[in-house]
Amino acid sequence: MAMRPASAGDRGAAIVWSLSLVALLLLTGLLSAATAAQALARQHAALVADVAALAGAQSETDPCGRAAQAASANGVQLVRCEVDGVDVSVQVSAPAPEIVVRLLGFLGRPAEDVRALARAGAPE
């Protein structure tokens, strides 16, 4: 069986398909990295919120000041602190990961800060 010569319309088709596949794989990798970075940022903010709430609950004199110290020591900003008896509720905010900021900026959308809430009470 003899091979027929490729028609002029088929020349370069494999290169186009290969480049399209490589672009798709790169886009998938970028989106996966952005999703993972956002998930890690949320976990970090939640962990720091827990630490800040516990630090505030264990403080006898200035619960919100102690919570703010714990949050800033972990690279997160304390947004809100409320004391209700022995309970301390905090909300912290951290900037979105750089890859998310760049990806959303490319799409013309601003990236929102990562926020987390936590509440803790003093040990009895």
- Asked whether residue 36 is assigned to any structural domain, the reply reads yes
**pTM (global) more than 0.95:** no
Number of domains in the chain: 1
Rounded-to-integer distance, Cα 11 and Cα 117, Å: 59
- Asked whether residue 61 is assigned to any structural domain, the reply reads yes
Give me 112's structure tokens.
């929102």
The pLDDT tens digits for 31-40 are 999 999 999 9
- Asked whether residue 70 is assigned to any structural domain, the reply reads yes
pLDDT higher than threshold 90 for residue 44: yes
pLDDT higher than threshold 90 for residue 100: yes
Sign (positive/negative) of CA torsion 79, 82, 83, 84? negative
- Asked whether residue 35 is assigned to any structural domain, the reply reads yes
- Asked whether residue 20 is assigned to any structural domain, the reply reads no
pLDDT higher than threshold 80 for residue 80: yes
- Asked whether residue 7 is assigned to any structural domain, the reply reads no
Dihedral of CA atoms 42, 105, 72, 59 in degrees, nearest 10, equals -50
